[in-house]
Amino acid sequence: MQIDIITIFPEMFAPVLGASLIKRAVQAGLLRIRVHDLRDYTSDPHRKVDDRPYGGGPGMVLMPQPIFAAVEDVRRDCSAHAGRCEVVLMTPQGESLSTPLAQQLAITPHLVLLCGHYEGIDERVKVLVTRSVSIGDYVLTGGELPAMVLVDCVARYVPGVIGHAQATEEESFAEGWLEYPQYTRPASFRELEVPEVLLSGDHGRIAQWRKWQAMSRTLAQRPDLMRQRQP
């Protein structure tokens, strides 16, 4: 899978892409990630990529020319994937990032992520965009942190990235529930005990206990997820 990230702050990505699961996936050849500086694509001699909004108002808006040039450049690689390429704009106005969405994006051979900034991007850029994605109902300084979240989330569903496939099947939200409680050794710590059922070796009881715990936790902490499951 190839991921191209277009941003005005490329230096923000090195710590995230160069560590942990993402780093190992890149080293193994499961992911190819490139970060592009939008300023490299501007026709302005001073490397300017933003300007004041028409109609007045505060802040600056990213201009269309450098974004068009950047997307057109990185999309040339789409031909190697039979044209299967998603251009994703990270924006609070997009659809919410979720497990089903991450799974859909994980089977796309080529993702191009656009990181907005300032007051946003010129609306005409959206003719390039195939999908807009938000990581929550709040506003951040730019699209860089949301892009990192999306990459980390999507990478988990790329075949081979997670060594144990069951890990993604049982984690929070995989089936619409929060994940059940987890315990490890020792069985007793500061008079806090691991539930007896987990020590029983009875896999049927354990599965039933975990399902009940996931449902109870979801009802207590995220009742909105319970409502979403109702027909």
CATH assignment of the domain containing 196: 1.10.1270.20
In a domain, 163, yes or no: no
User: Could you tell me if 136 and 57 lie in one domain?
Assistant: yes
- Phi (first) and psi of residue 108, to 5 degrees: -90, 125
Is residue 146's pLDDT more than 70?
yes
Residue type at position 5? I
| CA 194 and chain centroid, separation | 33
Instruction: Tell me which residue of 216, 197, 217 sits closest to 207, measured CA to CA.
Output: 197
pLDDT digits (tens, 9 = 90+) for 79-111: 665 568 999 999 999 999 999 999 999 999 999
Looking at the fold, whether 184 and 111 belong to one and the same domain comes out as: no
Would residue 165 count as lying in a domain? no
In this structure, are 80 and 128 located in the same domain?
Answer: yes
Nearest to 147 by CA among 87, 71, 75: 87
Model confidence at 166: pLDDT above 80? no
pLDDT tier, 137 (very low <50, low <70, confident <90, very high otherwise)? very high
Find all residues with CB under 8 Å of 99, minimum gap 6, and list them. 173, 174
Domain end, chosen from 89, 123, 155, is at 155
Q: What is the pLDDT of residue 78?
A: 72
Percentage of the chain beyond pLDDT 90 is: 79
Contact 226, 219 (CB under 8 A): yes
CA dist., res. 115 & res. 135, Å (int): 13
Higher per-residue pLDDT: 227 or 25: 25
Residue numbers of the domain that contains 214:
172-229
* pTM, entire model: 0.86
Instruction: Output the furthest CA–CA distance in the chain (Å, rounded).
Output: 70
206 pLDDT higher than 70: yes
State the pLDDT confidence band at 231, using cuts at 50, 70 and 90.
Answer: low
What average pLDDT does range 138-147 have in this prediction? Answer: 94
